[in-house]
Amino acid sequence: MHSFEQVRLYLIVTPSLCRDMAQTVAAAIEGGVDAVQLREKCSDDAQYVRHARELVSVCAGAVPLLLNDRWDLVESTGADGVHLGQDDASIESVRRALGPDIVLGLSTHDRAEVQAARGRGADYVGLGPMFATGTKRLTRAPGGAALLASVLDATSLPIFPIGGIDIDSLPDLVAVGARRCAVSSAICAAGDPKGAAAILFSELSLFSGLGEK
Ligand code: TZP
Ligand code: MG
């Protein structure tokens, strides 16, 4: 089973933002991305499965590949886990259905949701939105570095801030204690996805003492 304890730079793949999805993800992994999630809202099942299998092959067991929402396709595609929102299928029932070995991620937005996540069976949490973003229609105001700072001691699970994080905004999060993050457009829409990933990864390492990969 893949653990998310060691994951630092989590790529949320938005296929429509990528010039070539497989090439973008392969380059991003070379640049330092160490976990990948397929997030594709408007595709039909056949296209979703095609993309998921393509990414399973790009990740090649070296980095975990999760599906957003589609827990029903985890086993048939060979993905390593699923990421769920607070209003998606219940994380408790998905854990029961898929067993202890899959990775389960949960979106959170405040301290109470972060605190509850481990007891609900999550292996990590996403926390957001941090900043304004065009990648997802937001229903909450971005919480920024203050939101992250307010939850860092609320769980022992890995916390991935998400939403509008790029090479310019990440240092504000690192300054309050971020050692990981999740990004989509900052890598998917970059002219040089490997270079973008490498810069984000090195920003995450600024104060970590964990050294370069
Ligand atoms: N959840 C909260 S914000 C967001 C998701 C999936 C979008 C992240 O994309 P980007 O391009 O890194 O802002
Ligand atoms: Mg969802």
Q: What is the pLDDT of residues 21-52, one digit of tens each?
A: 999 999 999 999 999 999 999 779 999 999 99
Query: Which residue in this structure is represented by tokens 């790009």?
Result: 58
**Pocket flag, ligand 1, residue 105 (CB < 6 Å):** no
- Candidate list 53, 118, 136, 150, residue with the active-site label: 136
Cis peptide before 129 (omega within 30 of 0): yes
Does residue 163 carry a pLDDT above 90?
yes
What lies within 8 Å, CB to CB, of 175 at 6+ separation is 145
Instruction: Round to whole Å and give the CA distance between 10 and 155.
Output: 19
51, 151, 49, 63: which is closest to 107 by C-alpha? 151
pTM: 0.96
Determine contact, residues 5/17, Cβ cutoff 8 Å: no
Q: What is the pLDDT of residue 135?
A: 97
Residue 174: both structure tokens together: 């690192």
Phi, psi of 53 (to 5 degrees): -70, -35
- Which amino acid residue places its CA nearest to atom 9 of ligand 1? 184
Mean pLDDT of the chain: 95
| Cα 67 to ligand 2 centre (Å) | 10
Place 208 in a pLDDT band, splitting at 50, 70 and 90: low
| Cα 190 to ligand 1 centre (Å) | 15
**Pocket flag, ligand 1, residue 133 (CB < 6 Å):** yes
